Amino acid sequence: MKPKYCIINGVQLDIDKAGIGVNDLALQRGYGIFDFFKIIDNKPVFVQFHLDRFYRSASGMHLTVKYSREELISQVLQLVAANDLPVSGVKLTLTGGYSSDGFTLGEPNLIITQSALPSYRDINGNGISIITWEHQRQMPEVKTIDYLMAVYLQPVLKERNAQDVLYHNNGLLSECPRSNIFIVNRNGQVLTPANNVLAGITRGRILELQTDIDIRPADITLEDLDNAAEVFITSSTKNILPVTRINNRVIGDGQPGFITQRLAGLLVEQIHLSTKGS
């Protein structure tokens, strides 16, 4: 079902008629931040963690959020009810605002939109294929609207029959454009890059899992990736998605690994607990 409404600066609008001015810095310079979270049974998943990051990103980009988190949640729930999409995704976008000279920050515009969630069910069973690419995002700790390299690489992904790209820099892994990466080494340790990455909300929940599995952030080299027993990526939309092929090289036996599947089950439990507490 297509959403009918969005909210801009606290006002609910028909999505087909909504818009912002062309001199907003989001359009002029690609300057802005956003966050995105799932809605399950009309309830936002891990919403407080997402709002923590939203406010951090805004502060990091010198943008002011004029709404409290309670007001933001109220607007989100209003939009979810109006669109009647109980299972969906909600995106909060904060722009650089209207600028008279195309460079000076203005008062930010806050745009709240809702969309149907993409389905990863067809590829989740056998995992996905990714490629590696040398690149480092600007201000990696901030969730900006700058996805230049990710969009630029879409034809390359199609040509190489891959579903995602993993960035690395100076021999160390960082992240995928919209996901964090984890590897399982031959000792059964679960590792995720520690530096120069966005602190993904799903990544954070996995690091906090109460389990006998050793899960930790660390510096991970391309050689570590080559020797990994299992690999998976994480995001709010994908949860845990196994990676079974990298640069056309099969990982392990080419099937989602035992530890990956075990963690996926534990994460689903955390998601259910999050919606019950909303």
> Residues 55-66: what's their mean pLDDT?
98
Spatial strand order of the sheet with 32-40 comes to 11-14, 5-8, 110-115, 88-95, 32-40, 43-44
Q: Are 93 and 187 members of one domain? A: no
Give the phi and the psi of residue 203 in degrees, each rounded to 5.
Answer: -55, -45
pLDDT score for 275: 84
* CATH code for position 181: 3.20.10.10
**Of 115, 149, 184, at which residue does a domain stop?**
115
DSSP code, position 87: S
Residues 98 and 139 in one domain: no
Q: Are residues 14 and 84 in the same domain?
A: yes
Please tell me whether residues 76 and 189 are part of one structural domain.
Answer: no
CB 239 within 8 A of CB 268: yes
Pair (150, 184) in one structural domain: yes
Instruction: Give me the domain span that covers residue 237.
Output: 121-276
Q: What is the pLDDT of residue 188?
A: 96
Residues 11-52: pLDDT tens digits? 999 999 999 999 999 999 999 999 999 999 999 999 999 999
- Are 155 and 246 part of one and the same domain? yes
* 15 and 92 in a common domain: yes
Domain boundary among 115, 131, 161: 115
**pLDDT value at position 122?**
43
Q: Are residues 98 and 82 in the same domain?
A: yes
Classified as helix, coil or strand, 100 is coil
Coil, strand or helix at 268: helix
Same-domain check for residues 131 and 108: no
- Predicted confidence (pLDDT) per residue in 162-209, tens digit: 999 999 999 999 999 999 999 999 999 999 999 999 999 999 999 999
Q: What is the domain count for the chain?
A: 2
CA nearest 233: which of 178, 270, 156, 158? Answer: 178
Indicate the residue among 85, 115, 145 that finishes a domain.
115
Query: What pLDDT, in 10s, does the model give residues 118-150?
Result: 655 544 568 999 999 999 999 999 999 999 999
Model pTM?
0.94
Angle at 163 between CA 231 and CA 53, to 5 degrees: 70
Q: Specify the CATH number for the domain of residue 49.
A: 3.30.470.10
Q: Which is higher by pLDDT, 1 or 75?
A: 75
Query: Are residues 99 and 228 located together in one domain of the fold?
Result: no
> DSSP letter at 247?
T
Whole-angstrom CA distances from 76 to 13, 55, 92, 110 are 13, 16, 9, 12
